[in-house]
Amino acid sequence: MGPEHLESPERITIIEKALKEASFKSKFIEARRATDEEILTVHSQGYLDTMYRSTGIARIKMTEDTSTNMFTLDAALTSAGGGIQMVENSKHNHGFSLLRPPGHHATQNAAMGFCFFNNIAIAANAIRDKYKKILILDIDQHFGNGTADIFKDDPDVLYMSLHADPQISYPGTGFASNVGIKEGLGKTVNISLPWKLKDSDYLVALDEIAIPISEQFNPDIILLSLGVDGLEDDPYGHLSLTTDVYYEIGRRIGDFNKRNTNNKVPTFFEGGYKYDLLGEATVKFFEGLLNPDGEERIKAELTPKFSYQLRKIKSIQRKHWIGI
């Protein structure tokens, strides 16, 4: 994307430094490149050929918001390969694919939203022989349109996204009425959140919709798209979350995972552009994930700002899930 772009290598540097200084220990492993065969489990041959043609060219504009440079293909293949590597080793350790570019906007045939290959979808397909039912939970504040589209008719993958209202937020899709199609009907859950939503309402969305549906789906493994662009004043964001809520999100996911699967949680880095809080929010998320029985820092409390939208989402999801 270029050094002047907010989706830059500095994001990785900031978070890596914060993880190395955190109270818990992290082991850093060099990522491998994905093979063409692994990429083609999600993306078309024509699109992969387009990416290969970008090598050695200073800049190619793929969409209005996304462009390549001569290093993009290598970075994208490594981001996808590192994700597979992480997921394949998720039995005993929580993993974090701290790689870029991100992936959840990339569709089968197109780059968009700073994403080139859909890392989490490629990783999910790489483990289908080991895990029948996969939950992909996306907490980036932007709807992961690429991931949702890839699995829209798949009954064994539940894609669940908590994101800002599509009427005001990129990519302009991800309405609550989008619930998947054909055999995948009901297996797409979009929890769209009002502008400037705060911590307590976000936790209500988790506690009253996301976790109860996840319990009913009963996944064999959870894959997580982690974006911290829900922080207040993120330059691409529309929510008003604090870093402490990421601790609470991590704690809830850790608790659910402990009770429902025999694996750890592989986490994929997506968005987050408020540089001064990137590291803090990420570390707090993992503190919560690693300590699901830890002390509560923020209470879930419904406010009038979210009450109407919450009722609307629940009314849609009750057609597919019991007791929502």
CB 261, CB 219: distance < 8 Å: yes
Summarize pLDDT for 223-246 with one digit per residue, the tens: 999 999 999 999 999 999 999 999
Catalytic residues: 105
Q: What mean pLDDT comes out for the span 68-87? A: 96
Q: How confident is the model at residue 215 (pLDDT cuts 50, 70, 90)?
A: very high
DSSP β-bridge partners for residue 268? 97, 225
Residue 25 in this model has a pLDDT that exceeds 80? yes
**How many C-beta neighbours within 10 Å does residue 245 have?**
25
Q: Given this model, what pLDDT does residue 232 score?
A: 98
Burial class for 221, CB neighbours closer than 10 Å (0-12, 13-18, 19+): buried
Summarize pLDDT for 26-71 with one digit per residue, the tens: 999 999 999 999 999 999 999 999 999 998 888 889 998 999 999 9
The class of domain 10-317 in CATH terms is alpha beta
Q: Given this model, what pLDDT does residue 3 score?
A: 63
Summarize pLDDT for 135-144 with one digit per residue, the tens: 999 999 999 9
Residue 4 in this model has a pLDDT that exceeds 80? no
Q: How confident is the model at residue 90 (pLDDT cuts 50, 70, 90)?
A: confident
CB within 8 Å of 150: residues ≥ 6 apart: 42, 107, 108, 118, 121
Residue among 303, 314, 300, 322 at smallest CA distance from 176: 314
Residue 304: strand, helix, or coil: helix
Q: How confident is the model at residue 255 (pLDDT cuts 50, 70, 90)?
A: very high
